[in-house]
Structure 1
Amino acid sequence: MPWEWPVGALLAFLVALATTPAGVSGAVLLLPVQVSVLGVASPAVTPTNLLFNVAAVPGGLLRFGRERRLGGPLARLLVAGTLPGVIAGAIVRVELLADEHAFMWVAAGVLLPLGLWLLLAGQRMQPQRRELTPRLRLGIWALALTIGTVGGIYGVGGGSLLAPLLLALGFSAFETAPATLAATFLTSIAGIATYVVLQATGSGAIGPEWTLGAFLGAGGFAGSYLGARLQSRLPETALRRLLGLIACLVAARYIQLASSGGGEREAPRAAVTVSAL
């Protein structure tokens, strides 16, 4: 057995354990690990991350489901927005081939101050009991649709963007984590299905590293399950600061990729890259 498989499973376990309580799969943190440590070829990183999400996120969803925290109105709103958004974004990606580097700078500009705010103001912030009025429902759906569409165009997912924005709107991490993970899971399925179809039709898409992805997913499943179980034992302040740290790390990652011209995130131009983060 190649050493990369068990090492990858262990690293995926640790990443998922740390990020699931905040409602983020942690796939973005596995990107540099796959390339620098596990030696995954650059074009295969994104679909392998999708495979990680599809296999790992159900661990957290299973735990949240046992706690009867899945299927709420917030989760339904996010799924109803992100899923059609990803499909629409994929079509735009193929037709227009939008410049992803501009998006990375914009996303970093949003996530970095938001992450710092969550880190520094986390102790003073108190989540509000938000009633999902028709106006708020429409606003959240529109936000999810926009992020899903952007994700479909630029090859990023919604979890790392949706989670801090929902906290900024006054929701608690206890409410948002199951919802953002559910949206991440479904958009990842759409993304990996796109890769499989494009690869089968010979359109130039690169498929995932299936065996490594399975090991990453197995480790991530265990980490996600334990992370979801751990969440109920963590104070809201700690969860907000954790999400703030993740937002800052994602922003730093986007800045690095944009500055280097795309790096390992580059994929064939004909491919639709939906890497749910």
Structure 2
Amino acid sequence: MLSWQTGLSGFLAGLLISIVTAPVGVSGAVFLLSVQLSVLNVPSPAVTPTNLLYNVVSGPGALARYRRNGQLTGPLARLLIAGTVPGVVLGALIRVFAIPGPRVFRLVAAAVLLPLGLWLCARAVRPGVRDRPALSRRTILGLSIVTGTVGGIYGIGGGSVLGPILAGRGTPMSRIAPAALASTFVTSIVGAATYGILALVTTGDIAPYWALGLLCGAGGLLGGYLGARLQPYLPERVLRLLLGALATALAVLYLVQGLTLV
């Protein structure tokens, strides 16, 4: 039975995290995951589908604002979705059958996010350095499959990994943020459905914690809208630095937790 204190904590966590992460196209799930594991005591691997449920509920807030701003256009979102959807299904299977333990899961996340975050921060503080040539469509599609798989493993969507890569290669944040969030939203629907099916045929804590996921998502719905509304007022350099800092902070957090977890 979900207590009102836990429900309120989940709502406020979703709200505050999404305000910060939505302007750079990162689902608040990347930080909410740690809150669910450490504060709200959601077991693994149920924390992953709960986080995917959060993405499904919270996603329309930021996306509605980006669409109103005229930013939810162009082929980038469709390209990301084409890769991340099959990837998230593969990631869900890996998460349930191969790496159910939270320690391995956190160390994998840290290994992926730490170099990306540091790289993007370094480029943001050196504005005179020219960006590398933009990635080809085929490369973006391949990266989308890989990051979709990673997102399916730990329930955060691929935007937190793809965003730093695309930003470091010169793609404007005004294009990255709405495309990454759209990709996260669609793949989270597919991922949550995959976990729901797996819960019917396997044992263990695989099904999402519905009440908590919905309350966290309600906070993220409001916070995402506010964060997307804030984005046009932030300079490109600030947005890149924020994205790099978020990725680095999350990687350090996962690394510490993964190394100290018994």
Shorter-chain TM band: 0.7 to 0.9
Secondary structure of 1:68's aligned partner:
coil
Shift of 1:127: 10
Residue in 2 aligned with 1:267?
none
Unaligned runs of 5+ in 2: none
Name the amino acid aligned to 2:234: L
Task: After TM superposition, list the pairs within 5 Å mapping 1:122-137 onto structure 2.
Answer: 122-125=124-127, 136-137=136-137
Change in 2 beyond 3 A, CA 1:241/1:38: same
Residue in 2 aligned with 1:271?
none
Task: After TM superposition, list the pairs within 5 Å mapping 1:20-99 onto structure 2.
Answer: 20-91=22-93, 97=98
Q: For residues 156 and 37 of structure 1, what CA distance do their matches in structure 2 show?
A: 18
Residue in 2 aligned with 1:274?
none
Does structure 1 conserve the Cα–Cα contact (< 8 Å) formed by 2:85 and 2:186? yes
Deviation by residue 1:102-136 (Cα, 9 ceiling, x = unmatched) = 7765653453233223324314337989997xx71
Deviation by residue 1:62-83 (Cα, 9 ceiling, x = unmatched) = 1111122214211111111111
Shift of 1:192: 1.0
Residue in 1 aligned with 2:249?
249
> TM-score, length-normalised on structure 2?
0.85
Residue in 2 aligned with 1:273?
none
Does structure 1 conserve the Cα–Cα contact (< 8 Å) formed by 2:44 and 2:100? no
Task: After TM superposition, list the pairs within 5 Å mapping 1:227-266 onto structure 2.
Answer: 227-260=227-260
Residue in 1 aligned with 2:173?
173
Residue in 2 aligned with 1:183?
183
Of stretches 197-206 and 54-63 in structure 1, the one that deviates more from structure 2 is 197-206
Shift of 1:158: 1.0
Shift of 1:40: 3.1
Q: Percent same amino acid among aligned pairs?
A: 51
Q: For residues 47 and 115 of structure 2, what CA distance do their matches in structure 1 show?
A: 28
Shift of 1:195: 1.9
Q: How many residues align?
A: 259
Change in 2 beyond 3 A, CA 1:220/1:127: farther
Does structure 1 conserve the Cα–Cα contact (< 8 Å) formed by 2:61 and 2:222? yes
Q: For residues 141 and 17 of structure 2, what CA distance do their matches in structure 1 show?
A: 29
Shift of 1:156: 5.4
Unaligned runs of 5+ in 1: 264-277
Q: For residues 209 and 102 of structure 1, what CA distance do their matches in structure 2 show?
A: 22
RMSD over aligned Cα, in angstroms? 2.9
Residue in 1 aligned with 2:217?
217
Secondary structure of 1:232's aligned partner:
helix
Does structure 2 conserve the Cα–Cα contact (< 8 Å) formed by 1:85 and 1:145? yes
Does structure 2 conserve the Cα–Cα contact (< 8 Å) formed by 1:195 and 1:205? no
Shift of 1:151: 3.6
Does structure 2 conserve the Cα–Cα contact (< 8 Å) formed by 1:87 and 1:152? yes
